[in-house]
Amino acid sequence: MITREATKHAPLFSIIIAVFNDWQALHCCLRSLGQQKDAPAFEVIIVDDGSSEPAPESIYVLQRGYLLKILKQAHDGVAAARNNGAQNSNGLVLLFTDADCRLRDDCLSNLSSAVAKSPEHNSFQLKIVGNCSHLTGRAEHLRLITLQQQLLQGDGRIRYLNTAGFAIRRSLQSGKIFDSRAQRGEDTMLLSDLIAKGELPLFIGDAIVEHGIPMSVMRCLVKDVSSALIEANTYDIIASKGIQIRMSQRERLSVLVSMWRASRDPSIGYPASLVAVARQALQRMLSLTHPVLRRLTVNTRRLWQL
């Protein structure tokens, strides 16, 4: 473990970032943390999930006024990495984000206020937006804002969990937070666990995290296919618990309509809507065909064993 200390105050937040070979993207994230205004004391814990290259010294240049730790582990997946970070943290509230995210400069201040005003809530979902400087970023922004609008409940809680910006109180946690069986979709798995307890995260609309997707449309679609196939196992585990986590057909239609309406904004545009709809349709198609593909794979293996 590498530690660089910049404050002796007990932190309110432990900001936990799992990293696997994305050191370059991390620079922007750490820079945004160093630019926080009126933020309470916090520490940053980077968990290196078996990257091929060690953390560059340059990341320490971006450190301003907070304790920075780097934990190293053999490659074991993002869920295990986040659990490792949580177990080695000191903050009263654990805040998870990604290496390719950027926190708005008032994010921690606004989150701190919300946590203080809401002692009855255990977990908090920050508002996630996209980077609108390019097409895939605008499509992601459109997808994120419409999903959050659709899944926001009347009492301010939200049936949505995205670890690009998610916080949970340490005091009410025992054991591991994330189920390491989920190689992807660990945030959805955690949401299902909260639902099973009768809980939902409180939505903090003024604590904003920008989640960038710096890739082409084709690369984005290829990544969606890979992610959907891996996440299928996560949804199987959730279904085995008897928990309904997927959106209904009516909710999906409402999201698509909202996307189309929001794309009228010139800063987003209709091309972004088409990309977002294509991504949603592809993921839905894969989720529907996964049981067939899985049975086909099992039967093929049996034939080879004969």
Higher pLDDT, 18 or 174: 18
Answer whether residue 301 shows pLDDT above 80.
no
pTM of the model: 0.88
Between CA 80 and CA 176 the distance in angstroms is 9
Chain centroid, CA 169 distance in Å: 17
pLDDT of residue 177: 92
Q: By residue range, what is the domain housing residue 234?
A: 2-305
- Please state whether 256 falls in left (phi above 0), alpha (psi between -120 and 50) or beta: alpha
Between residues 292 and 267, the one the model is more confident about: 267
Q: Return the CA Rg of the chain.
A: 20
In order, the DSSP letters of the chain are -EEE----SPPSEEEEEEESS-HHHHHHHHHHHHT-SSPPPEEEEEEEES-SSPPPGGGGGG--SSEEEEEEE-S--HHHHHHHHHHT---SEEEEEETTEEE-TTHHHHHHHHHHH-TT--EEEEEEEE-TTSHHHHHHHHHHHHHHHHHB-TTSBBS---TTEEEEESTT--S-SS-TT-SS-HHHHHHHHHHHTT--PEEEEEEEEEE---S-HHHHHHHHHHHHHHHHHHHHHHHHTT---SPPHHHHHHHHHHHHHHTTSTTT-HHHHHHHHHHHHHHHHHHHHHHHHHHHHHHHHHHHH-
Mean pLDDT confidence for 226-254: 85
Nearest in space to 200 (alpha carbons), one of 244, 159, 162, 164: 159
The pLDDT, as a whole number, for residue 4 is 46
Which candidate, 55, 59, 89, 87, places its Cα nearest to that of 72?
Answer: 55
How far is Cα 111 from Cα 33, in angstroms, rounded to an integer?
13
Residue 274: both structure tokens together: 């088409």
Please tell me the total count of domains within the chain: 1
Residue 3 pLDDT greater than 80, yes or no: no
Average pLDDT over all residues of the chain: 86
pLDDT > 60? residue 303: no
Place of tokens 């093929």: 300
Q: Answer yes or no: are the C-beta atoms of 39 and 112 closer than 8 Å.
A: yes
Give the model's confidence band at 163: pLDDT under 50 very low, under 70 low, under 90 confident, else very high: very high
CATH number for the domain that contains residue 10: 3.90.550.10
Q: How far apart are CA 146 and CA 265, in angstroms?
A: 13
The size of the chain, in residues, is: 306
